[in-house]
A = this chain, B = another copy of it.
Amino acid sequence: MAKPITVTVITGSATRPSRTLGLASVVTGRLHAEGFVVHVLHVRDLPAEALLHARFDDPQIKTAVALVADADGIVVASPVYKAAYSGVLKSFLDLLPQFGLRGKTVLPLLTGGSIAHVLALDYALRPVLQSLDPRLVVSGLFVLDKLIELGEGGVVKLDSEIAPRLEAITKTFIDAIERLPAASEVPGN
C-alpha cells in the first residue's frame, strides 16, 4: 500500500479566536477530504520560551520540527502584522533547518484587515519560504478578515467571493503534490 500523502498546516496568529485559524481550518478540511493525513501546528501553542530562545532540544519543538520534516506539503497561514507575516510564525520558521522545506510543496496564506497589505504575501512571506529551498511554493492567497466569518463551535464561513478562489488555489496545491515527481529535486546546492 502506498504511503499516504501528509500535509502540515502551520498557523502564526498571536490571538484567539483567529480568522487565520479559521481560514486554515477550511483548507485542512479540504485536504482531509482528499484523503491526506493532515497535522495542524499552531505556533502559539508551542512552548513560548523554547521558541524565543531557539531551544532546538525542547521535546515539543522537536516534535513540531519533525512534523514539518516528514510532510509532503506545507500550508503556512499568518495574519499580516506591520506589513509582513507575524513574529509568531517567523519564530517557528527560524527553528527549521537551513533547507527545511526541501522537497516540499508549499501553500502560503495571509489574512489582513485591509487590501493595502496584499503585497505582503509576495514581498515578505514568499521570499522567506523560498529561502528554505522548497520544491515549489504555489500561488497563495491574501484574504480580507471580513470575508472570513467565525461561527459557533468552530464553524467557519467564507464569503462567496473568496471561497472559489481558495478552492482553486488549494486544488493547484494538491495537484502539485500528487503529480510532480520527487525526482525533480535540486541536488547539492
Nearest chain B CB to A130's CB is how many angstroms away? Answer: 4
Return the CB mask of A44-55 against B: 1 if under 8 Å, else 0: 100011011110
B84 touches A127 (CB 8 A): yes
CB-nearest residue of chain B relative to A136? B138
Q: Cβ of A135 < 8 Å from any Cβ of B?
A: yes
Query: Would you call B82 and A86 a contact (CB within 8 A)?
Result: no
Question: In the bound complex, how far is the Cα of B164 from the Cα of A81, in angstroms?
Answer: 27
Say if the beta carbon of A27 comes within 8 Å of chain B. Answer: no
Let me know if A181 and B189 touch, CB within 8 A: no
* Complex Cα–Cα for A96 and B83 (A): 13
> Contact at B83–A93, with CB atoms within 8 Å?
no
Q: Which residues of A pack against B, CB within 8 Å?
A: 14-15, 43-44, 48-49, 51-54, 81-94, 96, 114-124, 126-128, 130-139, 161, 164-165, 168-169, 171-172, 175-176, 179-181, 183-189
Given A122-B126, A136-B139, A175-B180, 15 other A-B contacts at CB below 8 A? A14-B54, A51-B52, A52-B52, A82-B90, A82-B93, A83-B127, A87-B92, A88-B94, A121-B130, A123-B124, A139-B186, A164-B188, A175-B184, A179-B179, A179-B180
